[in-house]
Amino acid sequence: MKIKHLFVGCALMAGAILTGCCGASSPIVGENYSFKDGMIVFDEPARAAGQESMLGFAADPIPVVRVGFIGLGMRGPGAVERFTHLEGVEIKGLCDLEQSNVDKCQRILEGAGFPKAESYVGDEAYKQLCERDDVDLIYIATDWVNHVPIAVYAMEHGKHVAVEVPAAMSVAECWQLVDTSERTRRHCMMLENCVYDFFELTSLNMAQQGLFGEIVHAEGAYIHNLSDFWDSYHNNWRLDFNQKHRGDVYATHGFGPCCQALNIHRGNKLNYLVCMDSKSVNGLAKAKEKMGSTEFANGDHTVTLVKTEQGQTIEIQHNVYTPRPYNRLYQLTGTKGFANKYPIEGFTFMPGQISADILPEGAQIDPHSFVSDDVRAAIMEAYKHPIHREIEEKAKQVGGHGGMDFVMDYRLVYCLQNGLPLDQDVYDAAEWSCIGELSATSAKHNSMPVAVPDFTRGAWKKLNGYHHYMKGE
């Protein structure tokens, strides 16, 4: 696929505005589904001969990870800077449409005492970087629609891939990532940073140790008023995508942590979803102002409900248009406890669920209220995830959304160096990204249920629970 334009960018939560490198036309979304037993079912291609599952896949250890960065706008420089704080990495190439963005990142390397990297500038310069034989990992921080073309090209040229969120913009693109990863035996990790947030990772550890009992419901969201940021997207690419596409187009920040807590494709799977959206008012007004548009596909507020194989429900929301406080709405509802982040960070438990050894003297547990601040602090410390115990202080020093970006990069490199399965595999990338087209399809058909494709092709039954692999296991 020829990419005619290079854009810079990819937006992460909390207003990370990116301009990127390497552009392409919007993905083609066709009628690639049928209606079966009252549900919309997307076509699921059979696994090609010779292709093998990537579940639990571990590549050979790479003691020194050699990296090439593609997309050096607002998000890219931060990634380059964070990598200068990692041991055992070499930055071999920097690619962008704009020479000035490459130069900016060269100065970051120089300031950190790193050798100058090879520069790649131009419409298809990313191909030259992917074709190098001294690069192990391609790190993609471009605009959304170019994630898949670049990721596929990189894997086909023997490179592991880390790609910003969402990894893909259609179900067909999700399958393309899965099949390419399986065929080439190369990792494809989506750079979902929110799963490494200190509250989310601690809550996951608590859930895995049974503190909430059986989890029956989870919630996540991306509610972030972008009114001050639309002008920062190179060539208006983000507003343009929302103008053309309905549904939850940016689900992964809220959805990813929920999926990990519910062991999705590790003994559980997503079965189907329904979606309902509001009319577009603020989105349409912004599109009229900036683009002269008289139509706007994306509703101002989108709500999607998902049902899992084990009977849990997940609610996710998307709203980037209306004046509201920032909210990722991370919640876990269990039979014995409850976790909540935004707007109030807290926990609720049944009496006796927290060990007396953890609780401050005299503390009381009320199943109708959040625990007190001192109890919450004691619980957060007692159940701090091993990854945070290992890297938390350095992560907070380096930064990136409070440190979770650095934890994400650290874990990616750690797993590659030690020949371990990655924390997020290509099936996570597909499952969390496919929500965009699936939710749009449900809304288009009056909130009709839509089956979530099984990107593992039945292999989800082979694993038992989500796991962060550690050296020596």
Q: Note the pLDDT tens digit of each residue in 5-25.
A: 333 333 333 333 333 344 333
In this model, does residue 171 exceed pLDDT 60?
yes
pLDDT band, residue 447 (cuts 50/70/90) = very high
Query: Considering only 177-191, 269-283, 355-369, which range has the smallest mean pLDDT?
Result: 355-369
Residue 404 lies in a domain: no
Residue 265 lies in a domain: yes
In this model, does residue 4 exceed pLDDT 60?
no
Q: Work out whether the CA dihedral 417, 401, 435, 137 comes out positive or negative.
A: negative
User: Number of folded domains in the chain?
Assistant: 1
In this model, does residue 266 exceed pLDDT 50?
yes
Average pLDDT, the chain: 93
Residue 71 lies in a domain: no
pLDDT band, residue 234 (cuts 50/70/90) = confident
CA distances from 24 to 20, 78, 249, 424, 472 (A): 12, 24, 18, 26, 43
CB 298 within 8 A of CB 319: no
The whole model's pTM is what?
Answer: 0.93
pLDDT score recorded for residue 340: 98
If you average pLDDT over residues 263-285, what whole number do you get? 98
User: What is the distance, to the nearest Å, from the Cα of residue 308 to the centroid of all Cα atoms in its chain?
Assistant: 19
Please identify which residue in the block is written with the tokens 């005492």.
113
Q: Domain range holding 220?
A: 195-389+426-462
Residue 128 lies in a domain: no
| Selected residue with higher pLDDT from 235 and 299 | 299
Q: Which of 161, 115, 12 is nearest to 73 (CA)?
A: 12
Strand ranges across the sheet with 89-96 = 118-121, 89-96, 65-70, 137-140, 160-163, 188-190
- High-pLDDT (> 90) share of the chain, %: 91
Residue 74 lies in a domain: no
**Phi then psi dihedrals of residue 233, to 5 deg:** -85, 120
CA atoms of 96 and 77, how far apart (whole Å): 11
Strand ranges across the sheet with 270-277 = 33-36, 39-42, 450-451, 270-277, 302-308, 313-319, 215-223, 330-334, 337-341, 346-349
If you average pLDDT over residues 437-442, what whole number do you get? 98
pLDDT score recorded for residue 30: 52
Residue 245 lies in a domain: yes
Q: Are strands 450-451 and 270-277 parallel, antiparallel or unpaired?
A: antiparallel
Copy the structure tokens of residue 298: 């994306």
Residue 140 lies in a domain: no
Residue 268 lies in a domain: yes
What digits encode the pLDDT tens for the residues 326-364?
999 999 999 999 999 999 999 999 999 999 999 999 999
CA atoms of 246 and 248, how far apart (whole Å): 7
- High-pLDDT (> 70) share of the chain, %: 94
pLDDT score recorded for residue 393: 96
Element (H, E) at 96: strand 89-96
If you average pLDDT over residues 370-393, what whole number do you get? 97
pLDDT score recorded for residue 24: 37
Copy the structure tokens of residue 331: 């919640």
Q: Which CATH number characterizes residue 259's domain?
A: 3.30.360.10
In DSSP terms, 161 is beta-bridged to: 138, 188
